[in-house]
Amino acid sequence: SPLTESMKNKIKEHLDAENVVVKDVSGDGRHVSIEVISAAFEGKSAVNRQRMVYKAIWEELQDRVHAVDTMITFTPSE
């Protein structure tokens, strides 16, 4: 969907991510799952990694997306 593509591109750009997967789990764009692989996560806690992703998609979280059901964050070496 245009929404998931937009979120994917923002995360990829913001975190210089190797791989980003954004899935619409509810079918209406209200609930998504996110998986990100980025070297920017090196040395960061799980909570800080999630904050980095949320910062990249803050705009979508204000109105269109109700919840991120799952978020998986890895460094390339993980």
CB 11 within 8 A of CB 52: no
For the segment 43-62, the average pLDDT, to the nearest whole number, is 96
Burial class (CB within 10 angstroms; exposed 0-12, middle 13-18, buried 19+) of 63: exposed
pLDDT band at residue 1 under the 50/70/90 scheme: confident
Q: List the domain boundaries for the chain.
A: 2-74
* Confidence at residue 10, expressed as pLDDT on a 0 to 100 scale: 97
- pTM, two decimals, is 0.93
CATH architecture type of domain 2-74: 2-Layer Sandwich (3.30)
CA 54 vs CA 17, 51, 77: distances in Å: 14, 5, 22
pLDDT in tens, 2-28: 999 999 999 999 999 999 999 999 999
